[in-house]
């Protein structure tokens, strides 16, 4: 059975992700105590056509992270495919979302302020985050989050999943990046009025940067770095590695470099390509 566990910070979009899984045909359960998960799985094994299960696990159920890890390993040893999705957002974004919805944080009744509650929750769930595929929803609306979840689910992962993400530094760097590379030293197509409307997947931008030696050196250097360290991370049983590639606005140079790296890594690892600011670009 395929089982997706959704966890993360309150206000980061777990209900949106769970609803997306329901729409994709998963049987969904919200706020399940982890000790009940094996019994739920056994129940669904005995039901016809119930092969996909999604469970939201978070601080509301007082999840014991050590117990959660034990239950996850037990189910994997039983032959079940378990994927963990962890949603998070920047602190300021979460504060604004709670203010707009006028909802209280699940820990706010424990004589904690909202900021203290968020900090405690983040520390509590951090071990589970280390096992998970992470999505930073700070710059996402509900539709973009649904697309990101569906994009991830469509990958039949058999080993290390490498996420290549372009972004614009002026909008903030991704909090979940394992490696972060800065493209702002490369020649910028933005300053050419004829090139400005395009993005890094368009031929005019690709032709321009293909002809820039600094851009080629940057791609070669990052490729060499990844070729050395990704196998090491795979040996250490890492499930996910996120590589952030940033430029000023996230439209031209970073998108171009991500696409060139994707060409080189295709066939070596499972790949997921995101273009955070160039939202009109379809990811893989």
Task: Write out pLDDT tens, residues 64-86.
Answer: 777 788 888 888 888 888 999 99
Q: What is the pLDDT of residue 59?
A: 80
Residue 189 lies in a domain: yes
Strand order in the sheet with 270-275: 179-182, 240-247, 161-168, 270-275
Model confidence pTM above 0.85: no
Q: Which of 69, 71, 61 is nearest to 38 (CA)?
A: 71
DSSP string, the chain: -EEEEEEE-TTSSHHHHHHHHHHTT-EEESS--GGGHHHHHHHHHTSTT--EEEEE--GGGT--HHHHHHHHHHHHHTT-EEEEEEEE--HHHHHHHHHHHTPPPTTTTTT--HHHHHHHHHHHHHHHHTTSEEEE-TT--HHHHHHHHHHHHT---SSPEEEEEEEEGGG---TT-SEEEE-TTS--GGGSTTTTT--TTSHHHHHHHHT-HHHHHHHHHHHHHHHHHHHHHHHTT--EEEEEEEESSSSSHHHHHHHHHHHHHBTTBEEEEEESS-TTSPP-
191 and 145 inside one domain: no
What's the pLDDT band for 281 if we cut at 50, 70, 90?
very low
Residue 47 gets the label, from left (phi > 0), alpha (psi -120 to 50) or beta, of beta
**Backbone φ and ψ of 162, nearest 5°:** -105, 120
Quick check: 57 and 103 in contact, CB under 8 A? no
Domain final position from 153, 181, 197: 153
Residue 280 lies in a domain: no
135 and 178 inside one domain: no
203 and 123 inside one domain: no
Task: Using the predicted structure, report yes or no on whether residue 147 has a pLDDT greater than 60.
Answer: yes
Overall domain count for the chain: 2
Domain final position from 153, 176, 195: 153
Residue 93 lies in a domain: yes
Cβ count near 69 (within 10 Å): 15
103 and 23 inside one domain: yes
Q: Which of 229, 223, 279 is nearest to 251 (CA)?
A: 279
Query: Which tokens hold the place of 252?
Result: 């031209």
Q: What is the pLDDT of residue 110?
A: 67
Task: Using the predicted structure, report yes or no on whether residue 41 has a pLDDT greater than 90.
Answer: no
59 and 192 inside one domain: no
Residue 107 lies in a domain: yes
Residue 282 lies in a domain: no
Residue 283 lies in a domain: no
Q: What is the pLDDT of residue 125?
A: 86
Q: How far apart are CA 76 and CA 228, in angstroms?
A: 30
Query: Which tokens hold the place of 269?
Result: 């690892």
What's the pLDDT band for 280 if we cut at 50, 70, 90?
very low
102 and 133 inside one domain: yes
Q: How far apart are CA 259 and CA 246, in angstroms?
A: 13
Domain assignment of residue 57, given as a range:
2-153
207 and 250 inside one domain: yes
Cross-strand partners of 162: 241, 271
Q: What is the pLDDT of residues 214-240, one digit of tens each?
A: 999 999 999 999 999 999 998 887 889
21 and 143 inside one domain: yes
């Amino acid at each position: 059975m395929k089982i997706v566990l959704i966890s993360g910070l309150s206000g980061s979009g777990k209900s949106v992700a769970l609803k997306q899984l329901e729409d994709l045909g998963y049987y969904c359960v919200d706020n399940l105590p982890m000790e009940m998960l094996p019994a739920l799985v056994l129940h669904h094994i005995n039901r016809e056509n119930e092969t996909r299960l999604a469970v939201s696990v978070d601080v509301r159920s007082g999840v014991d992270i050590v117990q959660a890890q034990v239950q996850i390993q037990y189910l994997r040893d039983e032959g079940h495919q378990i994927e963990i999705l962890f949603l998070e957002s920047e602190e300021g974004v979460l504060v604004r979302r709670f203010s707009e919805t006028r909802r209280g944080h699940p820990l706010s009744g424990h004589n904690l302020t909202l900021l203290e509650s968020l900090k405690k929750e983040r520390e509590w769930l951090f071990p589970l985050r280390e096992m998970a595929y992470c999505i930073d929803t700070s710059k996402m609306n509900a539709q973009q989050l649904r697309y990101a979840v569906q994009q991830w689910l469509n990958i039949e992962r058999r080993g290390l999943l490498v996420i290549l993400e372009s972004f614009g530094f002026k909008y903030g760097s991704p909090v979940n990046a394992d490696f972060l590379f800065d493209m702002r030293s490369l020649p910028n197509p933005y300053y050419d009025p004829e090139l400005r409307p395009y993005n890094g997947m368009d031929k005019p931008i690709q032709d321009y940067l293909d002809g820039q030696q600094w851009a080629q050196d940057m791609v070669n250097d990052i490729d060499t770095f990844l070729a050395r360290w990704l196998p090491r991370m795979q040996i250490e049983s890492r499930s996910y590695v996120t590589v952030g590639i940033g430029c000023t606005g996230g439209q031209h140079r970073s998108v171009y470099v991500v696409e060139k790296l994707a060409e080189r890594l295709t066939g070596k690892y499972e790949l997921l390509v995101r273009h955070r600011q160039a939202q009109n670009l379809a990811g893989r």
